[in-house]
Amino acid sequence: MSQFHVAGIIGKQHQDPQLASTIARLAAHLRHRGLDVHFDAQSAVMTSDTLGIDAAAGLSIPELGAACDLVIVVGGDGTLLHAARELAPADVPLLGINLGRLGFLVDISPDHLEERLDQILAGEYRADARAMLDVHTDGTEGRAVNDVVVHKWNSVRMIELETWIDGQFVNAQRSDGVIVSTPTGSTAYALSGGGPLVHPALDALLLVPICPHTLSNRPLVIGGDSTIELRIRDYEHEQVRLTCDGQINLPLAEGRAIHIRRSRHRVKLLHPRGYDHFSILRAKLGWASEGRADGAC
Provide the residue ranges of all domains of the chain, joining segments of one domain with +: 6-123, 133-264
pLDDT at 295 over 60: no
Q: Which residues contact 9 (CB under 8 A, 6 or more apart)?
A: 23, 26, 27, 37, 38, 39, 40, 43, 71, 72, 74
Q: What pairing do the DSSP bridges indicate for beta strands 125-137 and 140-144?
A: antiparallel
Q: Which residues contact 108 (CB under 8 A, 6 or more apart)?
A: 95, 96, 97, 98, 116, 117, 272
pTM, two decimals, is 0.92
CATH topology (fold) of 133-264: Tumour Suppressor Smad4 (2.60.200)
Split at pLDDT 50, 70, 90, the class of 43 is confident
- Separation between Cα atoms, residue 211 and residue 247, nearest integer Å: 21
**CA 220 distance to own-chain centroid:** 21
pLDDT at 17 over 90: no
Is residue 77 part of the annotated active site? The answer reads yes
Q: How many helices (H) and strands (E) does the chain have?
A: 7, 16
| pLDDT at 297 (0 to 100) | 40
Helix (H) or strand (E) holding 192: helix 189-192
Rounded mean pLDDT of the chain?
91
pLDDT at 296 over 50: no
pLDDT digits (tens, 9 = 90+) for 103-152: 899 989 999 999 999 999 999 999 999 999 999 998 899 999 999 999 98
CATH 3.40.50.1240 fits 6-123, yes or no: no
pLDDT digits (tens, 9 = 90+) for 223-270: 999 999 999 987 776 788 999 999 999 988 877 899 999 999 999 999
Q: Which residue type is seen at 15?
A: Q
| pLDDT at 67 (0 to 100) | 97
Candidates 40, 77, 107, 176; catalytic one: 77
